Structure 1
Amino acid sequence: MKILCLHGKGTSGRIFKSQTTSLRRKLEERDPKTTFEFDFVDGPQPSAPAPDTPLFYDPPHYAFYEGTEIKAIRAAHEWLSRVVEQRGPYDGALLFSQGCALVSSYMLYQQWYEPDSPPPFKFAMFICGGVPITVLKDLGVPVSKDVEELDLATKRQLLDKTTCKITRDRWQLTDYASVVRRAQFDSDDCFGLNLNVIPPELKIRIPTVHVYGRKDPRLPASVQLAGLCDPYIRKVYDQGGGHEIPRSKEVSEELALLMEWCAHRGTWPGQEAAGF
């Protein structure tokens, strides 16, 4: 079972491989009968290191694109198409941060403009990442000013290494878990985004896992991406931390369990017949 692994902006395939060592080891322990081949690929563009990249990770560092303009994102999609063609086929994808943004937006454009094409992956695990707001707007999704302001503010917090203050102030005054759970389903307020007006063609229809951290400034983006995926073949998990891949035994075991579910569900014989 071959899995494409795409890192976050300002890191690399080598760094992402190190960050997921515990997860992959636990997955092998849980499912020794399944051979998982993880393909860690560097982004096509050199990049400054991410603000939270540990000093012991030496350069080079990479990104899949710079900025959030559609032209740059679509160019990255062309690069991804070449990777899938030349290094694939892939069964699934394991993604972090900008890797999530790249693959989720790639799939949404494909579903919208090439509805008869098979998806590039049978399943995906998204960790601490969401769909760029510019992509949603380009695809015709109504995006309010509040959503854009929140997106900009949380990006600034991530760069400043601050806590998720804006999200906490606006949404966590009530029960945190209830707010996040409610926002994932057909809701008119998924952290400001109205999921009820988004057509089915813009809902990702492969089995997905969404891992977010309650201390992550980019939490709203992760939850919005979960809301853009089929709730019947989707699982979500709060890893309890920030914009990171925790390596504790408890979290690694849970992530391995979720990856195992996602991989088996994505390759279930009835998946294609069910129309997903």
Structure 2
Amino acid sequence: MPELPEVEVSRQGLLSCLSRQPIIGAVVRTPRLRHEIPAGLAARLAGLRVDAILRRGKYLLLDCQSTSGGGWLLIHFGMSGSLRLVPPATPARLHDHFDLVFADIVLRFRDPRRFGALLWHEGGGVESHPALAHLGIEPLSDDFNGDWLYAATRCRRVPIKPLLMDSRLIVGIGNIYAAESLHHAGVSPLRTGDRISRQRYRVLADAIRATLLAAIAAGGSSVRDYVHSDGGAGCFQLSCRVYGRAGEPCPTCAGPVRVIRQAGRSTFYCPRCQH
């Protein structure tokens, strides 16, 4: 599933091409993805302009003149979604569900599993949209640090890895990035949130930030369907220290990497280095 780094890489790739560009029209090829696509969305978008492209958690937010009679287009990639910039008149393929049409280029949303979402928020104040209102802190924001993590987990008797992946607490830290951050910090994914010291949380918060920034610099992780807007693939998965490396030697201690199941997801860690 595309997580925070993948959505941020997509956002950065679209900025130079779409920012301040007028929308000629839109093409909707399916009535619903994870949710129903708003009725009349194509007509509502036509004639507006993309004033900005933001990100909130794993949502890409296109500001379509929200302060002057427009609104916001919210895009969630789901399990297999991706955005591609293609030349006009490029034939749509199976699973190409939506086009946002500009004068010289088309932004195309592809989603084989149909777990993504295309939503519309009329006017400003997009943070109040039901899809965004419940989201937790941004891990790359100035407010996120070890002291915040420590305070937020005092009564959480839940293993730390599922906690890091809870979007109501922190947004955008997916399975890969949670596992890698915990390994970098030397924290066991089995340790409950309320049994981690303030100092260790400071180390973990720094590891989370460093891991996410490294993933963004590497273009994200392409482990299934995710590609950049130009069709290229991310390569962070090639540098993972524990994720996907069950039975292989830990790069720190050479002991075998172990895999277990937590909250329905595979957790990779080193029982020697992480405690």
Structure with the greater alpha carbon radius of gyration: 2
Structure number having the greater strand percentage = 2
Structure number having the greater helix percentage = 1
Q: Do the structures match in fold with TM over 0.5?
A: no
So what's the TM-score if we normalise by structure 2? 0.28
So what's the TM-score if we normalise by structure 1? 0.28
